[in-house]
Amino acid sequence: MQTLWQYLVIVAIFAVAYGDFKTKDVQSISSGVSFGMCRGYCRQSINVTSNPLQIMVAKEANFEQKSYPSIRRPFSFSPNQWKELISLLNLNVFEALGDRIGCPDCADGGAEWIQVNWTEGSKRVTFENGRAIKGIEGLIEKLRQMREEYGTQI
């Protein structure tokens, strides 16, 4: 019986350590929205990177328009902000999601996406604009808040 308890403790330690290890290997988290039938800045995105620690904000038109040139601007991002963002990411839940959820940009409702890049791969999930996805609601809300906050500064 004691051997069984020792085995369970070791398995639990490895499970916790492995999950934390995967989170520490996240290199970037990006998020954006796009609208297909649109004039002006129809695509907006943010890309938060761990090295260099910064957030890149972008606004783009769907096609070349002289009145709406592409805009990209980096902003500083603190280690505490990175830790807060990473803490909202459950990589196991995110990896289990389908690449496309619902009907993004159907009837010009817009598409929203999140992409996570880590040392051993990447995954992008696209879903209907404004929707919540079970298991990553906090991450979605934080990324929306960041897109709004930084997007108004460019």
| Total count of domains within the chain | 1
Q: In the chain, what is the greatest distance between 2 CA atoms, to the nearest angstrom?
A: 74
* CATH code of the domain in which 67 resides: 3.30.1560
- pLDDT surpassing 70 at residue 137: yes
pLDDT at 130: 94
- Domain membership of residue 59 (yes or no) is yes
Q: Which domain holds residue 86?
A: 26-151
Q: How far apart are CA 52 and CA 145, in angstroms?
A: 22
Q: Per the domain annotation, does 60 fall within a domain? A: yes
Structural domain contains residue 3: no
Burial class (CB in 10 A: 0-12, 13-18, 19+), 89: buried
Q: Say which amino acid occupies 90.
A: N
CA distance 28 to 119: 10
- Asked whether residue 20 is assigned to any structural domain, the reply reads no
pLDDT bucket at 18, cuts 50 / 70 / 90: very low
Average pLDDT, the chain: 87
Rounded CA separation 64/40 (Å): 10
